[in-house]
């Protein structure tokens, strides 16, 4: 009998996360910042291993791109297809295995191919299939996004992960299900560490990681740690894998990686500056920060921009502030820990973005000059990267594309808000302005559902939200305690609705989420 799972966990669904790095629009700023020409906007795009399909549906609905994608798990593919049917977006979603999907002869050439959380958890055979697919189907100038577990950051914990997976497969009872086997493996790991083995003394951080595992979603742990295949690899090993695909490293999809002051000491920066080979520099940097997970963009046929072209392209990039101005703390955390952002640079920029209207970087530059803010273009660009890396700022697409996509995003969001009546799985809604998803909690979605029905007062939104909770026997938690009475639940919901109306609703309107 053929094992269609190929050793990948299939008896428990993946989480419903949204991954903004899979948004081709996000890649533009990173590429231009690195001096690389991005591909044409709104070309054909592909996602391999889409999980529950939240990301691919957000991006298909919120852009003018056509999307093709596959995930071998039929239950996940079915859910993803239902989202696409509700939005009406051009998304061709299948449940084919990689080899079957990648060898289809009806696929277009792609401007963007993305795989998030897949590379480290599949076999070498499947990795070879993907590399061949990228070589054949990625356009010249097209972008590959790939994320993967990285060495040296995983070197200490890899033996413990192996032991836990072995426990789950050998000692754990298969009839009890994967969640029970995960709990048993974690419990065994704790008992082992309690004996103070030499391994734990040589790797003291392992104990802390086991404690964190106990607090995490078991669905996530099943797919992260308990697949048959799990292969963290060095950056240069991945580079060797991708060589046949003819792609070149373009830069990190984590914007905070572009700010050395957040991640590297002065001595480390000086050592990196002395290394002439850019690929070896990436490997050395991974050792400096003990990199555990990389999120990278690669380009096929990389075309470098001249200094003038780069500045002109950066000035044309549009951005939108998606966090209330008053809620933004001038703090950022990198590999070196928490850093304080310079008020004289960030405050003028945030003040200009505080109306939550789309502005180009060039417009911000001109406005800062008129105010005599003493913020130069280099400082402005770094600030935008930091604010985007912190999730406060999103890239924005042109008005015509946003208007064209709005019908699809409205349809998708309407369906997601209906799902929120009984589920808190999906906590994003689609924005045609940002070309992807924006965070909206379950209660926020219920408030919007009430607003869409014609009710304009936060008190009414709270009453409607309480209706859906009450008929399902659900209650709110506040400061770790369950609110038992109707009055207490309504009071908390009303306060949340009032805050939502004041802070988040204006932003969601600017982003055309509603």
Per-residue pLDDT of the chain (514 residues), as tens digits, is 344 344 444 444 567 999 999 999 999 999 999 999 999 888 999 999 999 999 999 999 999 999 999 998 999 999 999 999 999 998 999 999 999 999 999 999 999 999 998 898 889 999 999 999 999 999 999 999 999 999 998 888 888 888 888 887 777 655 556 777 888 888 888 888 889 999 888 888 888 888 888 777 777 777 666 766 778 899 999 999 999 999 999 999 999 999 999 999 999 999 999 999 999 999 999 999 999 999 999 999 999 999 999 999 999 999 999 999 999 999 999 999 999 999 999 999 999 999 999 999 999 999 999 998 899 999 999 999 999 999 999 999 999 999 999 999 999 999 999 999 999 999 999 999 999 999 999 999 999 999 999 999 999 999 999 999 999 999 998 888 999 999 999 999 999 999 999 999 999 999 999 9
- The reported pTM is 0.88
* pLDDT of the residue at 211: 86
* pLDDT of the residue at 159: 84
Domain ranges in the chain? 20-151+231-300, 158-225, 316-396, 400-510
Which residues, 6+ apart, have CB-to-CB distance to 514 below 8 Å?
413, 448, 451, 452, 505, 508
Question: What H or E segment, with its residue span, contains residue 442?
Answer: helix 442-452
* CA pair distance 227, 103, nearest whole angstrom: 25
- Write phi, then psi, for 231 (nearest 5 degrees): -135, 85
* pLDDT of the residue at 181: 81
* CA pair distance 500, 505, nearest whole angstrom: 6
* pLDDT of the residue at 14: 64
Name the superfamily (CATH) of residues 20-151+231-300: Vaccinia Virus protein VP39 (3.40.50.150)
* CA pair distance 230, 219, nearest whole angstrom: 16
* pLDDT of the residue at 224: 66
Question: What H or E segment, with its residue span, contains residue 429?
Answer: strand 428-431
- Residue 294 token pair: 């990389």
DSSP per-residue codes, 206-275: HHHHHHHHHTS-HHHHHHHH-SS----B-HHHHHHHHGGGTEEEEEESSGGGG-HHHH--HHHHHHHHT-
* pLDDT of the residue at 4: 37
Among candidates 130, 114, 106, which has minimal Cα distance to 59? 114
* CA pair distance 126, 106, nearest whole angstrom: 20
- Residue 485 token pair: 């009475």
Which residues, 6+ apart, have CB-to-CB distance to 338 below 8 Å?
331, 332
* CA pair distance 435, 318, nearest whole angstrom: 12
């Amino acid at each position: 009998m053929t094992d269609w799972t190929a050793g990948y966990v299939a008896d428990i669904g993946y989480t419903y996360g949204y991954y903004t790095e899979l948004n081709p629009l996000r890649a533009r700023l990173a590429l231009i910042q690195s001096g690389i020409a991005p591909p044409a906007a709104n070309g054909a795009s592909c996602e391999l291993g889409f999980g529950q399909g939240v990301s691919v549906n957000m991006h298909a609905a919120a852009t003018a791109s056509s999307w093709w994608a596959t995930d071998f798990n039929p239950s996940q593919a079915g859910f993803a297809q239902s989202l696409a049917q509700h939005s009406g977006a051009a998304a061709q979603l299948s449940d084919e295995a990689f080899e079957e999907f990648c060898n289809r002869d009806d696929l277009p050439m792609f401007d963007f191919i993305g795989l998030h959380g897949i590379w480290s958890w599949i076999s070498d055979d499947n990795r070879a299939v993907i590399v061949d697919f990228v070589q054949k189907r990625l356009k010249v100038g097209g972008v590959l996004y790939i994320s993967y577990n990285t060495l040296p950051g995983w070197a200490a914990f890899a033996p413990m992960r192996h032991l836990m997976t072995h426990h789950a497969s050998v000692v754990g009872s298969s009839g009890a299900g994967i969640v029970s086997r995960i709990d048993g493996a974690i419990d065994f790991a704790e008992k082992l560490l309690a004996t103070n083995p030499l391994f734990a003394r040589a790797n003291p951080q392992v104990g802390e990681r086991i404690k964190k595992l106990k607090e995490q979603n078991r669905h996530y742990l099943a797919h992260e740690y308990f697949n048959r295949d799990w292969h963290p690899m060095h950056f240069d090993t991945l580079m060797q894998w991708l060589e046949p695909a003819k792609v070149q490293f373009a830069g990190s999809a984590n914007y905070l990686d572009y700010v050395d002051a957040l991640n590297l000491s002065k001595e480390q920066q000086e050592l990196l500056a002395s290394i002439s080979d850019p690929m070896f520099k990436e490997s050395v940097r991974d050792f400096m920060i003990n990199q555990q997970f990389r999120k990278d963009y690669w380009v096929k046929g990389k075309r470098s921009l001249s200094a003038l072209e780069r500045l002109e392209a950066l000035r044309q990039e549009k951005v939108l502030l998606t966090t209330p101005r008053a809620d933004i703390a001038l703090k950022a955390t990198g590999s070196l820990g928490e850093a304080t952002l310079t008020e004289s640079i960030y405050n003028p920029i945030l003040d200009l973005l505080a109306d939550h209207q789309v502005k180009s970087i060039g417009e911000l530059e001109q406005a800062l000059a008129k105010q005599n803010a003493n913020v130069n273009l280099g400082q402005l660009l770094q600030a935008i990267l930091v604010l985007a890396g912190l999730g406060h700022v999103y890239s924005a697409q042109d008005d015509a594309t946003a208007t064209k996509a709005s019908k699809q995003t409205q349809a998708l969001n309407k369906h997601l808000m209906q799902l929120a009546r009984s589920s808190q799985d999906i906590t994003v809604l689609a924005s045609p302005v940002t070309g992807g998803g924006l965070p909206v909690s379950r209660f926020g979605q219920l408030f919007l559902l009430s607003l869409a029905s014609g009710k304009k007062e936060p008190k009414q939104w709270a009453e409607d939200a309480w209706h859906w909770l009450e008929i399902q026997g659900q209650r709110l938690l506040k400061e770790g305690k369950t609110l038992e009475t109707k009055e207490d639940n309504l009071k908390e919901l009303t306060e949340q609705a009032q805050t939502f109306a004041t802070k988040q609703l204006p932003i969601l309107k600017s982003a055309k989420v509603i």
